[in-house]
């Protein structure tokens, strides 16, 4: 195929970052060519197949790929058919000879296990997990702060600076503290210290726990992580871009003004372009592709001396049995040797003392192995310089000594797995592949085969290594080397920032779109499920309008029918009142079709009043019942103290929207609610007396509860008025419950000549009404207005209701 | 001397009675509701009112019939129905032509109406408060001993007999000195009960709504039934803790609202009302402290307690602690309750044996 000699952007490297940048840029209408030196796309995110088994080379778990996370948002922006990342429940298993702990998406289980085993350290453990939870919530904030300063206006820079300062301030001590010192603040027991002591800073101890609290752990998509690259490739091609493998770039072409003007391939062919994005190894770029004098020597020295993440020694096993039968679960098991608490020993790379991980990818995704079989991945972090560069020659050429070391190393790890976790593992092995740091270096080209590039250490940060721009104009870094750390989120972030810089210059409109996605102004898709029950009727039209104005999709459950009620009886607490039971059924109805369930906590719906106490625990009960299937979105509504508008602002912030956007949405939503709360124009001739239907909004407006009664009254030719919402203040009555207070007040203003009778609609086990009804009865008795209470529950028969209504209507007519 | 009707609060009634002596009134109270009171209350109360409402109303009606002029009851400012009970009961009594004035005890300023009306001297007030305080502590001591001993006793009923004598002595004690003497003697008295040394009692926490937890009649004598099945119970409604919470003097203790909120946070992020938060928090504490099970009891339709039951179920599932949920109303059958308790204890025994 003849390569075009001109395009808008050349991307070097077809790893995740390069492919993401290419997809974003080609979506914006730029012509993009990706050049990949090796024969395959994917870089680290690659896979290989052996005898029906499929192995991901490196990615085991991911962050920020769930709805709302950066990767998810960007993928949704690229195309809504993006891969789906299953949430992980079992995350981490800590195992040594004496202990076996499991970290799940409910980390408190681990905490309580630990407290059971180390009762004397209860205080420290509680404090550690509390801090981890705080840290988790803290990290959520960063989801929205992924844009590099380069693409900001001055005003944005200032507010970004302030926000980051506010972010760093509460955790400044944690960030700076070394793990051994930080952990000693919590506890003294050596075993516990060893358990958590997996990394060098306190930050890296707390962040994974924090992610567990916020549930931010995902598995690669179905079919393995290669699916992400394959999908990005399809998107690039569909938008007119090209991905060319086996095309090593020889050098960057630099024009007279000192900016990049294209690349020259190893074949000698030159491709002109307006921008070049280098998503490849940074030392190769600066050392081989650019004439040396262009890069300041100091910068090159700093790059060379930077702290790097280690590489990895990986063993890929195809097993003849299901790994579950060997006692594994979807968690990643971390094996340590008890007593090797010193950080150096654990990470030395020595296969006999190092900590390493065992994972069975096929337990998360059965499609990776033939039926009845499974895959296993053993991974030990080790650096390239282990044993004199793995006993390779001066040019890293591999010989006998290398192969022998590789075999010994693998055997040592397998021995430990057999000893500590899976006795007799070797008998089950059908396929075995081994990768050393040298292998990773050969396939990815990254220096020393490092898996995540620069470490976020103080030294690196002071050297200012992570940056998108280079000394050569129009040449941008777009891969993990443009960030501290690596992995899918960081590579995506780097790609996004490189793309933003280019779009700002070449496609301002697309720049605005992408910027909004990264900043979270457009929440790309999440669908919010709203149950048509309880508070839905108290705040009519409010929630749909609000969420839609924020750009979210909304799914409101269908109106109650007798089938809803049947389901409610099955799944709900039997002693709940009918509206609460209906709530459960409505929630169950939308589950599976929404990303979030919206369930507010209602403490008060009216100034000077309180809400029914049952509404104070709604989000918690919803989470208890459905939390393992869907996320619960909640906000506290306490109108007695906090204006509704402020609560909406808080709700919007949880969804990551900007304050101005939320403000607009809130105004719109409140207006819609006020309109919906207006009583309908009264039916019938104005002079005619009417029957007042008294009840909570969730009784009066629910089709199942009030529908048959309203219909019957209509057939009896009775004009009916529903209790109005009654905006505005009124004198305090004896009842402090919001809706009851309103009803009581409305009754005190009733006029005998206009209101022929009052029918109270209530439900069985309604606590508020059981008391309030005595007060209503007294008021109405004083006014001489007839009063009847209809108590509804899931068994109420329509025939009985009709008879009672007919009799009552007769009694007031005659 | 005028009489003052005080609704039963289990054995704490002894202490409560002592606290009002300074008002120069005779306390009209008992340690548990009687069947007659229940009948009277159930008949006069609104149909859907909860069990404690009916029990206390019955208590007041009977008191009024016996010529008692005054009554007192908690008038909480919380979110639950209890807030309106005094007012509503007063209304019902008036409608029935019964002349009994109920004072409310709530946040009514420094001098609640009750104190304002009877106006005790400060010295008498302090003296009685001290007696009441020590009596509350003595009751707690007696109950703790009874819970421990009953699960191990050799002959059924011994513990209850010892307990009754202790309580009667406590009731008779008039000075702080004699109250402390009774308190000191409690341990010795219970040690005289012959016990089975090989007993391996189950430990079960009792949680839920306060008056059902404490009133033997309303809860069908749950504590003794479980005790005789070889279960060492712990009743988590302790008046001392409750008082400390009301007067905000237990900020740092593990039973303070603050620590309970902290404990329950993963499952419940709001106080809800009543003792709902306590129910969730203590269930988690029981799981952590190795209890064999929890019995959660509430009056039928109790607003706060019922609303957290789905959460209790989740806690039970997550932390692997069996929770038995019992709801009581005036129609609950004693045999039905006992059968459910026996079945529950059987399950716990099985778990104990299989070591899970």
Q: Which helix (H) or strand (E) holds A429?
A: strand A429-435
Which strands sit side by side in the sheet containing A429-435, from one edge to the other? A100-104, A90-95, A332-335, A356-359, A374-382, A311-319, A429-435
Chain B residues near residue A606 by CB distance under 8 angstroms: none
Query: Which residue on chain B is closest to A604 by alpha carbon?
Result: B79
CB-based burial, A440-461: b 16+ in 10 Å, e otherwise: bbebbbbbbbbbbbbbbeeebe
Residue owning tokens 């072409």? A253
Q: Residue A533 and residue A535: Cα distance in Å, rounded?
A: 6
Token pair, residue B347, equals 């399950």
pLDDT category of residue B199 using cuts at 50, 70 and 90: confident
**Encoded tokens for A198:** 């997996």
| C-alpha of A393 from chain center | 46
Q: Which of B87, B273, B288 sits opposite A112 (nearest CB)?
A: B288
Decide if B3-119 and B201-356 have a common fold. Answer: yes
Average pLDDT for A3-13? 86
Chain A: which residues have CB within 8 Å of chain B? 106, 108-109, 112, 115-116, 130, 573, 575-577, 580, 601, 603, 610-614, 616-617, 619-621, 623-625, 627, 636, 734-736, 764-771, 773-774, 778
Asked if A624 lies within 8 A of B303 by C-beta distance, the reply is no
Please compute Rg for chain B using Cα positions: 20
Looking at residue A242, the DSSP 8-state letter turns out to be E
Measure the N-to-C terminal CA separation of chain A; round to a whole number of Å: 95
Does A758 have pLDDT greater than 50? Answer: yes
* The architecture CATH gives domain B3-119: 3-Layer(aba) Sandwich (3.40)
Distance of alpha carbon A545 from alpha carbon A549, whole angstroms: 6
Question: What digits encode the pLDDT tens for the residues A603-620?
Answer: 888 888 888 888 888 999
Asked if the Cβ–Cβ distance from B288 to A115 is below 8 Å, we say: yes
pTM of the model: 0.60
Contact state of A620 with B313 under an 8 Å Cβ cutoff: no
**Token pair listed for A506:** 């070449």
- Rama region for A41: left / alpha / beta (φ>0; ψ in -120 to 50; rest): beta
Cβ–Cβ gap A613/B273 under 8 Å: yes
Which has the minimum average pLDDT: A403-407, A731-735, B195-199? Answer: A731-735
Phi/psi-derived region of residue A391, left when phi > 0, alpha when psi is between -120 and 50, beta in every other case: left
Q: Is-contact A204 A179, C-beta < 8 A?
A: yes
Candidates B53, B260, B303: best to mutate against A (most CBs of A within 10 A) is B303
Domain B201-356 class?
Answer: alpha beta
Residue for token digits 């993440």?
Answer: A309
User: Which structure tokens are listed for A780?
Assistant: 């109405």
Indicate yes or no: CB of A573 within 8 angstroms of CB of B288.
no
Task: Residue B300: list chain A partners with CB under 8 A.
Answer: 575, 765
**Which tens digit of pLDDT belongs to each residue from B6-52?**
999 899 999 989 988 888 899 999 888 999 999 999 999 988 888 99
Q: Are A675 and A541 in contact (CB under 8 A)?
A: yes
Query: Could you give the dihedral angle defined by the CA atoms of residues B187, B190, B191 and B193, in that order, rounded to the nearest 10 degrees?
Result: 180
Cβ atoms B275, B305 nearer than 8 A: yes
- Phi-psi region at B272: left, alpha or beta (left = phi > 0; alpha = psi -120 to 50): left
**Domain A527-677 falls in which CATH fold?**
Rossmann fold (3.40.50)
Tell me, letter by letter, the H, E, C secondary structure of A37-75.
CCCCCECCCCEEEECCEEEECCCCCECCCCCCCHHHHHH
**How distant is the alpha carbon of residue B145 from its chain centre?**
17
Q: How far is CA B140 from the centre of its chain?
A: 11
Chain B residues with CB inside 8 Å of A620's CB?
267-270, 308, 311
Q: Would the pLDDT of A813 be above 60?
A: yes
**Do B308 and A734 lie within an 8 Å CB cutoff?**
no
Q: What is the mean pLDDT of residues B237-249?
A: 78
**B273:A580 CB<8 A:** no
Q: Token pair of A453, please?
A: 């590039």
Cα separations in angstroms, A156 against A504, A657, A659: 15, 15, 14
- Is the sign of the CA dihedral B57, B60, B64, B65 positive or negative? positive
Q: Which of A27-31, A460-464, A527-531 has the lowest mean pLDDT?
A: A460-464
Domain A311-449 has CATH 2.40.10: no
For the stretch A312-365, pLDDT in tens is 999 999 999 988 888 888 888 888 776 655 566 667 778 888 888 899 988 888
Which residue of B46, B270, B286 to mutate against A (max A Cβ within 10 Å)?
A: B270
Q: To which H or E segment does residue A265 belong? A: strand A260-265
The predicted pLDDT at position A188 comes to 83
Give the integer Cα–Cα distance in Å for A580 and A677: 22
The nearest alpha carbon in chain A to B85 belongs to A771
Q: Which CATH class is domain A6-85+222-306+452-516?
A: alpha beta
Determine the Cα angle at B285 with ends B281 and B288, to 5°.
Answer: 140
Distance CA A22, CA A11 (A): 7
Is the Cβ–Cβ distance between A451 and A312 less than 8 Å?
A: yes
B86 chain-A contacts, CB cut-off 8 A: none
Give the Cα separation of A463 and A486 in Å (integer).
18
Under the banding of pLDDT at 50, 70 and 90, the label for residue B250 is: low
Query: Measured between beta carbons, which residues in chain A are less than 8 angstroms from residue B307?
Result: 576, 580, 613-614, 616-617, 621
* Pairwise CB contact (< 8 Å): B274 & A778: no
Tell me if domain A6-85+222-306+452-516 and domain A527-677 are identical in fold: no
* Inter-chain Cβ pairs, chain A and chain B, closer than 8 A: 116
Spatial contact of A404 and A260, defined as CB atoms under 8 Å apart? no
The percent of residues above 70 in pLDDT, for chain A, comes to 95
CATH class of residue range A690-813: alpha beta
**Residue A495, pLDDT score:** 93
Q: Where is pLDDT greater, at B21 or B229?
A: B229
Query: How many angstroms separate the CA atoms of A32 and A233, rounded?
Result: 12
Contact, A713 vs A790, CB < 8 A?
A: no
| Partner-chain contact B308 A768, CB within 8 Å | no
The average pLDDT across A209-230 equals 85
3 state SS of A274: strand
Q: What is the ipTM of this complex?
A: 0.89
A115 pLDDT above the threshold of 80 = yes
The CA-CA-CA angle for residues A32, A33, A39, to 5°, reads 150
Q: How far is B344 from chain A, CA to nearest CA, in Å?
A: 20
Give the model confidence (pLDDT) of A70-83 as tens digits: 888 888 888 877 88
Q: Do A766 and B48 touch (CB under 8 A)?
A: yes
Per-residue tokens: B247: 């007067």
- Residues A740-757 pLDDT 10s: 988 999 899 888 888 889
CA distances from residue B322 to A219, A792, B328, B356 in whole angstroms, order as listed: 33, 33, 20, 11
The residues with which A721 forms a beta bridge, in sequence order, are A692
Report pLDDT digits (tens) over A19-34.
999 999 998 889 999 9
Mean pLDDT: which of A15-24, A210-219, A295-304, A544-553 is highest?
Answer: A15-24
Least confident of A176-190, A566-580, A751-765, B204-218: A176-190
| C-beta atoms of B88 and A613 within 8 A | no
The percentage of residues in chain B with a pLDDT greater than 90, rounded to a whole number, is: 62
- The answer to whether residues A468 and A497 touch, using CB atoms and an 8 Å cutoff, is yes
Query: Domain spans of chain B?
Result: 3-119, 135-150+153-198, 201-356
Pairwise CB contact (< 8 Å): A765 & B48: yes
Q: Report the residue of A107, A131, A575 to disrupt the B interface, i.e. the one with the largest count of B CBs within 10 Å.
A: A575
Helix (H, G, I), strand (E, B) or coil at A705: helix
Longest dimension (CA), chain B: 61
Residue B326, strand partner residues? B297
State the pLDDT at residue B77.
Answer: 63
Decide: residue A730, CB within 10 A, 0-12 exposed, 13-18 middle, 19+ buried: middle
Find residue A233's DSSP bridge partners.
Answer: none
Query: DSSP letters of A615-641?
Result: GGGHHHHHHHHHTTTSEEE--EEETTT
Q: Which helix (H) or strand (E) holds A672?
A: helix A659-677
Sequential DSSP letters for B298-313: EETT-HHHHHTHHHHH
pLDDT value for B344: 96
Q: Is B269 in contact with A109 (Cβ distance < 8 A)? A: no
B247 vs B301, higher pLDDT: B301
Give A58 or A707, the one with higher predicted confidence: A707
At residue B76, the pLDDT reads 64
Q: Which token pair is A528?
A: 């919010």
Range in A623-637, B4-18, B97-111 the model is least confident about: B97-111
CB under 8 Å to A636, separation ≥6 — which residues?
A600, A601, A602, A603, A642, A647, A650, B270
Q: Contact at 8 Å (CB) between A376 and A358?
A: yes
C-alpha span between B10 and B7 (Å, rounded): 9
Dist. CA A410–CA B144, nearest whole Å = 61
How far is A724 from A132, CA to CA, in rounded Å? 48
Contact B307 A613 (CB under 8 A): yes
Mean pLDDT of B76-98: 84
Q: What is the pLDDT of residue A1?
A: 46
Residue from the list A624, A766, A774 with its beta carbon closest to the beta carbon of B311: A624
pLDDT of residue A3: 58
Contacts of A601 in chain B (CB under 8 A): 269-270
Confidence of residue A393 (pLDDT cuts 50, 70, 90): confident
What are the sequence ranges of the domains in chain A?
Answer: 6-85+222-306+452-516, 106-214, 311-449, 527-677, 690-813
10 Å CB burial of residue A113 (0-12, 13-18, 19+) is middle
Q: What is the DSSP letter of A443?
A: H
Find the CB nearest A620 among B269, B302, B327. B269
Alpha-carbon distance of A810 to A813, in angstroms, equals 5
Coil/strand/helix, residue A260: strand
Q: Which two tokens stand for residue A131?
A: 């801090």
Q: How high does pLDDT run on average in chain A?
A: 86
Nearest to A135 by CA among A61, A203, A218: A203
d(CA A480, CA A495): 9
Q: How far is CA A291 from CA A12, A286, B19, in A?
A: 17, 8, 94
């Amino acid at each position: 195929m003849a390569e075009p000699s001109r395009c808008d952007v050349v991307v070097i490297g077809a790893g995740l970052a390069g492919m993401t940048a290419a997809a974003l840029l080609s979506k914006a209408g730029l012509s993009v060519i990706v050049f990949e030196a090796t024969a395959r796309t994917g870089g680290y995110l690659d896979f290989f197949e052996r005898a029906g088994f499929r192995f991901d080379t490196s990615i085991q778990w991911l962050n920020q790929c769930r709805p709302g996370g950066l990767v998810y948002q960007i993928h949704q922006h690229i195309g809504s058919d993006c891969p789906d990342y299953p949430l992980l429940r079992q995350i981490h298993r800590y195992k040594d000879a004496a202990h076996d702990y499991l970290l799940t998406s409910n980390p408190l289980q681990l905490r309580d296990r630990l407290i059971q085993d180390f009762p004397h350290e209860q205080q420290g453990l509680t404090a550690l997990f509390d801090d981890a939870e705080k840290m988790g919530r803290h990290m959520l904030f960063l989801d929205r702060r992924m844009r590099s300063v380069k693409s900001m206006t001055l005003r944005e820079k200032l507010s970004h600076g302030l926000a980051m300062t506010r972010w760093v301030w509460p955790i400044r001590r944690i960030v700076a503290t070394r793990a051994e010192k930080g952990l000693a603040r919590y506890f003294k027991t050596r075993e516990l210290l060893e358990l958590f002591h997996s990394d060098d800073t306190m930050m890296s101890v707390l962040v994974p726990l924090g992610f567990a609290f916020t549930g931010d752990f995902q598995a690669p998509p179905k079919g393995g992580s290669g699916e992400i690259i394959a999908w990005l490739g399809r998107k690039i091609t569909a938008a007119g871009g090209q991905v060319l493998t086996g095309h090593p770039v020889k050098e960057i072409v630099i024009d007279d003004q000192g900016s990049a003007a294209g690349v020259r391939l190893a074949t000698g062919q030159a491709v002109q372009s307006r921008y070049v994005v280098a998503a490849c190894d940074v030392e190769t770029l600066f050392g081989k592709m650019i004439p040396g004098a262009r890069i300041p020597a100091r910068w090159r020295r700093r790059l060379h001396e930077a702290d790097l993440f280690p590489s990895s020694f990986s063993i890929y096993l195809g097993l003849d049995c299901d790994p579950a039968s060997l006692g594994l679960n979807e968690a990643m098991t971390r094996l340590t040797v008890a007593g090797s608490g010193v950080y150096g020993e654990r990470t030395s790379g020595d296969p006999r003392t190092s900590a390493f991980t065992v994972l069975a990818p096929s337990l998360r995704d059965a499609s990776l192995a033939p039926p009845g079989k499974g895959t296993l991945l053993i991974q030990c972090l080790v650096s390239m310089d282990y044993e004199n560069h793995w006993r390779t020659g001066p040019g890293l050429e591999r010989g006998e000594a290398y192969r022998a070391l590789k075999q010994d190393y693998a055997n040592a790890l397998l021995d430990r797995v057999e000893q500590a976790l899976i006795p007799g593992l070797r008998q089950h092995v059908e396929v075995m592949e081994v990768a050393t740091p040298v292998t990773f270096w050969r396939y990815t080209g990254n220096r020393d085969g490092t898996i995540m590039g620069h470490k976020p250490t103080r030294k690196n940060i002071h050297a200012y290594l992570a940056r998108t721009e280079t000394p050569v104009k129009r040449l941008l870094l777009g891969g993990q080397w443009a960030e501290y750390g690596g992995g899918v989120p960081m590579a995506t972030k780097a790609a996004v920032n490189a793309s933003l810089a280019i779009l700002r210059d070449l496609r301002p409109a697309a720049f605005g779109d992408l910027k909004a996605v990264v900043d979270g102004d457009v929440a790309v898709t999440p669908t919010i499920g709203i149950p048509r029950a309880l508070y839905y009727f108290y705040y009519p039209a409010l929630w749909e309008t609000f969420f839609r104005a924020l750009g979210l999709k909304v799914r409101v459950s269908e109106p109650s029918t007798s089938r809803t009620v049947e389901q409610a009886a099955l799944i709900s607490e039997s002693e709940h009142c009918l509206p609460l039971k209906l709530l459960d059924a409505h929630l169950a109805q939308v589950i599976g079709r929404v990303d979030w369930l919206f369930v507010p906590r209602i403490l008060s719906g009216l100034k000077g009043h309180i809400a029914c106490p049952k509404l104070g625990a709604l989000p918690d009960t919803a989470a208890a019942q459905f939390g393992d299937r869907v996320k619960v979105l909640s906000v506290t509504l306490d109108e007695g103290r906090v204006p509704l508008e402020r609560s909406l602002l808080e709700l919007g912030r949880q969804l990551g929207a900007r304050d101005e956007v939320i403000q607009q949405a809130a105004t719109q939503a409140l207006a819609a609610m006020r309109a919906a709360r207006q009583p309908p124009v009264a039916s019938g001739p104005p002079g005619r007396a009417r029957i007042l239907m008294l009840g909570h909004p969730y009784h009066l407006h629910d089709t199942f509860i009030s529908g048959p009664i309203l219909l019957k009254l209509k057939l009896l030719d009775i004009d009916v008025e529903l209790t109005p919402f009654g905006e505005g203040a009124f004198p305090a009555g004896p009842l402090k419950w919001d809706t009851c207070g309103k009803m009581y007040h409305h009754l005190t203003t009733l006029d005998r000549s206009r209101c022929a009778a009052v029918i109270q609609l209530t439900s069985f086990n309604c606590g508020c009404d059981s008391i309030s009804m005595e007060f209503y009865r007294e008021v109405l008795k004083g006014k001489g207005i007839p009063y009847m209470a209809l108590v509804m529950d899931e068994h109420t028969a329509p025939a009985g209701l009709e008879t009672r209504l007919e009799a009552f209507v007769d009694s007031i007519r005659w | 001397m005028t009489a003052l009707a005080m609704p039963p609060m289990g054995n704490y009634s002894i202490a409560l009675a002592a606290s009002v002596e300074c008002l120069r009134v005779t306390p009209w109270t008992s340690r548990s509701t009687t069947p007659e009171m229940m009948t009277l209350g159930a008949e006069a109360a609104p149909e859907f009112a909860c069990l404690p409402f009916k029990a206390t109303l019955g208590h007041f009606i009977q008191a009024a019939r016996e010529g008692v002029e005054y009554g007192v009851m908690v008038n909480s400012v919380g979110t639950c129905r209890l807030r309106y009970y005094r007012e509503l009961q007063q209304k019902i009594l008036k409608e029935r032509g019964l002349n009994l004035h109920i004072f409310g005890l709530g946040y009514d300023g420094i001098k609640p109406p009750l104190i304002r009306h009877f106006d005790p001297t400060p010295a008498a007030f302090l003296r009685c408060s001290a007696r009441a305080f020590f009596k509350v502590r003595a009751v707690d001591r007696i109950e703790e001993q009874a819970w421990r001993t009953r699960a191990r006793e050799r002959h059924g009923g011994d513990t209850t007999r010892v307990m009754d004598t202790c309580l009667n002595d406590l009731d008779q004690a008039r000075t702080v000195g004699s109250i402390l003497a009774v308190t000191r003697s409690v341990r010795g008295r219970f040690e005289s009960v012959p016990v089975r040394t090989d007993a391996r009692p189950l430990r079960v926490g009792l949680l839920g709504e306060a008056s059902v937890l404490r009133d033997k009649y309303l809860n069908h004598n749950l504590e003794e039934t479980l005790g005789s099945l070889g279960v060492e119970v712990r009743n988590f409604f302790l008046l001392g803790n409750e008082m400390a919470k009301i007067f905000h003097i237990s900020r740092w203790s593990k039973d303070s609202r603050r620590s309970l909120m902290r404990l329950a946070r993963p499952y419940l992020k709001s106080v809800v009302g009543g003792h709902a938060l306590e129910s969730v928090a203590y269930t988690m504490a029981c799981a952590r402290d190795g209890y064999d099970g929890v019995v959660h009891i509430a009056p039928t339709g109790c607003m706060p307690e019922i609303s957290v039951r789905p959460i209790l179920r989740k806690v039970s599932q997550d932390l692997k602690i069996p929770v038995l949920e019992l709801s009581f109303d005036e129609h609950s059958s004693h045999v039905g309750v006992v059968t459910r308790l026996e079945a529950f204890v059987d399950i716990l025994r099985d778990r104990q044996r299989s070591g899970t």
